[in-house]
Amino acid sequence: MVIVLKRDCTAEQLQEVKRAMERGGVKVMVSQGSEVTILGAEGNASGLNQQALAQMPGVERVVPVSEPYKKANRKYHPDDTVVDIGRGVQVGGRKLAVIAGPCSVESQEQIVGIAESVQAAGAAAMRGGAYKPRTSPYSFQGMGLEGLRLLSEARQATGLPIVTELMSADQLPIFEETVDVIQIGARNMQNFDLLKKVGKVNKPILLKRGLANTIEEWLMSAEYIMAGGNDRVILCERGIRTFETYTRNTLDLSSVLAVKRLSHLPVVVDPSHACGRSWMVERMAMAAVAAGADGLIIEVHNDPKNALCDGAQSITPAEFEALMGKLAPLARCVGREL
């Protein structure tokens, strides 16, 4: 349940409504937006007298909420959330945030060189995997701590915030020290213990949609993080598994529209993992911007044919620069900018 207050509601009236809700056995979340102030009930709202609350001074209306997620729900937080990821970069709002870099860190020369290339082309942040979840135990699993160190070198060389995937709660202390944005990958989207742990840290979390998860399940995973106290959550659509095998996954751009209606959290799109084919990345990235995404996360490699991980879906620095040139006028068409 949410209670929408009148524009002229006084501070005293707000507090009286809040106390009445608390007497009904719920915690109260206060959301003061640019247009409206909302009181959201957290917990079992069955003890609340909706009719009595609706008649209290300062109350505009009472709105029942059927969705199980609360903190991520736009009904509780009408204004769009903008997540500050550090170094002057924000995700959400008018500016599109383009995050670019290789699937995995392979060497100092590789990661610093790519970081410098994508920065020159206009990227807002850099991605790169130090730890890699792979289907086969015999595939390259990432450089681990050395990969994190090299990512830090690339950040020092360029000033770009770094985004990398957390695989285990055991790694959390070093990630808190070295990483700007902690990515929770698709395979860990419903690793609830891990979600609870990152809900306690003071770092932005990029939460990828699971390969076979519904939008509601995705938002409920965001709720786990936010329930722990961390409201700096960025959602990432990276394609879902369907019957189609021509592409790696099926890019669900409708989810961008759905999530923007259901939630206030920013949404970025990963066309690289969604398609699995480098020649599709440019058009799917443009389609994501047209659909209303707040940003993109794109795999860029200086030598895709010899990449240790996901070379088939990686574009070159030159191709990334060309893509950025096409995104700039498109962004203006939808009221955004790079």
- Which segments of the chain does DSSP mark as H helices, in order? 11-23, 50-54, 108-121, 145-158, 172-178, 192-198, 215-227, 254-262, 271-275, 278-291, 317-333
Q: How much of the chain exceeds pLDDT 70, in percent?
A: 100
Average pLDDT of every residue of the chain: 94
Rounded Cα distance, 320 and 326, in Å: 10
pTM above 0.85, yes or no: yes
Burial track 102-114 (b if 16+ CB lie within 10 A, e otherwise): bbbbbeeebbbeb
Residue 123 has pLDDT above 80, yes or no: yes
Task: Write the pLDDT tens digit of every residue in 221-277.
Answer: 999 999 999 999 999 999 999 999 999 999 999 999 999 999 999 999 999 999 999
pLDDT band at 66, cuts 50/70/90?
Answer: confident
User: What integer pLDDT is reported at residue 132 of this predicted model?
Assistant: 78
- Can you tell me the distance from the alpha carbon of 300 to that of 118, in angstroms, rounded to the nearest whole number? 8
CB proximity list for 143: less than 8 A, separation 6 or greater: 104, 105, 106, 130, 150
Contact (CB, 8 A) for 39 and 5: yes
Structure confidence by residue, pLDDT tens digits, 130-183: 997 777 887 777 889 999 999 999 999 999 999 999 999 999 999 999 999 999
219 to 216, 238, 266, 287: CA distances (angstroms) = 5, 15, 12, 23
Tokens 């959330």 found at: 81
